[in-house]
Structures are given as structure tokens and as C-alpha cells.
Amino acid sequence: MSSARFVLLSLCSALLLQAALGADPLFHFCSDPENFTANSPYEYNLNKLTSFLNTKTPPSGFGLGSVGQYQDQVYGLALCRGDASPSVCKACVANAGAEIRSRCPRNKGAIIWYDDCMFKYLDTNFFGQIDKTNKFYMWNLNNVTNPALFNGRVRALLTRLAKAASSIPRLFAAGEKGVEGKTKLYGMVQCTRDLSAAECKACLEGAIGELPSCCDGKEGGRVVGGSCNFRYEIYPFVNV
């Protein structure tokens, strides 16, 4: 009896701990094999950049900055999901900046993604360039009944959203589309704001072009990169 209660209590505290620490990352890459040494100027600059991004990002959902000079200069950015509130954004970026350091403790470059934000840094200036290296897919295991028709509608929705997002400074768009009968399709696209409108559009078109390899006939999917991402589902997932 008492041991059963103990198990229950441990389970509860494990759940509370999980909630306090935030969600698990979707994915990460230690993207630069070069290492910095402990207590080096690079580490100092990276720490400074991380706290800068923690403060800079939440109000607008995007932060970008660089700290240091020459071989010790570090470049970084953080982006929150377009529908994330400043408080959700703040918690996500703080968590991401800490978590990536524990996963890539000495790498000069790294990137980590969560549902609500991404965090990236590198020892070279990557601003304004489409990141073609860091990318992953996610998909719903469920298959739709008419893949050809469904795929076409997904592509049409995402293409429309890519156009909308790249025409506004926030580089974010969400929307929906009616699909046969009651089923609806929901989508979201976003770019990092170091990209120009044209680069954002090109980045999203590239991602949409990967639909066949990512999410062919799947009820939901995401192509997530270092410069842009999309997601679609047959249920609403965007906070309005």
C-alpha cells in the first residue's frame, strides 16, 4: 500500500518536473564540428549572445545578434512560432539556449528546434542566407484515403501561405482550406527575419518541394529548416 503511494507520488513529481523544465526539443544538430575551449573568449561571447537573445527575442518573436571579433565572433538568432505569446516565447528561448549547450557543449555552432521556437548560433556570418544544411521532417502516421487529391490541396494551401508570409515583415502566415466534406486542412509557414521577402519565398518553395519525400499522403506533416518551416494538419493547431 505505502509502496504504491510512493510510486504515485514519484510519478506526480516527475510530471511536475517535466512541466517546469518545458517540452522536449523536436530535434537538434551540433552543426559545427569545430570546438571551443572552456573559459575561452568564444564561450564568453556565446554566453553574452545567449542572454542577449533571451531578452531581445520575446517582444517581437525574433532576435538576431553577434558578439565578439575575429575568430572569437559568434553569430546567432532565435525565432518563436508566429502564434506564440511573448511569455511562451520567452520561456521557450531561455530553455532552448540552455538545452543546446548541454547537447552540444563545445561546438562552435548548433541549432535546436522546439514546437514554439528555434535557436541557432555559428562562428561564421550566416545572416540573410538560406540554411540548406539543417533540416528535418515530421509526419503523421495516418494515411489519407485519396493521396493525389489531398497532396494537391496541401501544396495549394502551403503555396498560398508562402506567398502571404513573404509579403509581410513578420514572414509568417497561417490559414485553412476546406477539403472534401467536413475535413479541413490547416497550415502554417514561417521564415527567420534575416531573410528578404524573395529569400523567404524561395526557402518556403524549396520546403514545399519536399512534400513528396516528407509527407506524401499523410494527414499531417512538417518540413523544418534553419531558415523556414511549414506545418499542415487536418485539425486546428494554430493559436489565434
Ligand X SMILES: *[C@@H]1O[C@H](CO)[C@@H](O)[C@H](O)[C@H]1NC(C)=O
Which stretches of the chain bind ligand X, using CB under 6 A?
33-35, 106, 141-143
Whole-number minimum distance, CB 27 to ligand X, in Å? Answer: 20
Q: In Å, what is the CA distance from 234 to each residue of 101, 115, 128, 137, 148?
A: 35, 17, 33, 17, 16
What CA–CA distance (Å, rounded) separates 215 from 170?
26
Q: Which C-beta is closer to ligand X: that of 116 or that of 123?
A: 123
Query: For residue 213, is it left (φ>0), alpha (ψ between -120 and 50) or beta?
Result: alpha
Whole-number minimum distance, CB 134 to ligand X, in Å? Answer: 18
Whole-number minimum distance, CB 171 to ligand X, in Å? Answer: 33
- On whether the CB atoms of residues 230 and 158 are closer than 8 A, the answer is yes
Q: Which C-beta is closer to ligand X: that of 94 or that of 104?
A: 104
Give the helix/strand (H/E) hosting 122: strand 117-122
Whole-number minimum distance, CB 127 to ligand X, in Å? Answer: 24
Q: Which C-beta is closer to ligand X: that of 17 or that of 141?
A: 141
Q: Which C-beta is closer to ligand X: that of 35 or that of 85?
A: 35
SS3 label, residue 125:
coil
Q: What angle do CA 21, 25, 27 make, to 5 degrees?
A: 160
Q: Which C-beta is closer to ligand X: that of 62 or that of 150?
A: 150
Whole-number minimum distance, CB 202 to ligand X, in Å? Answer: 31
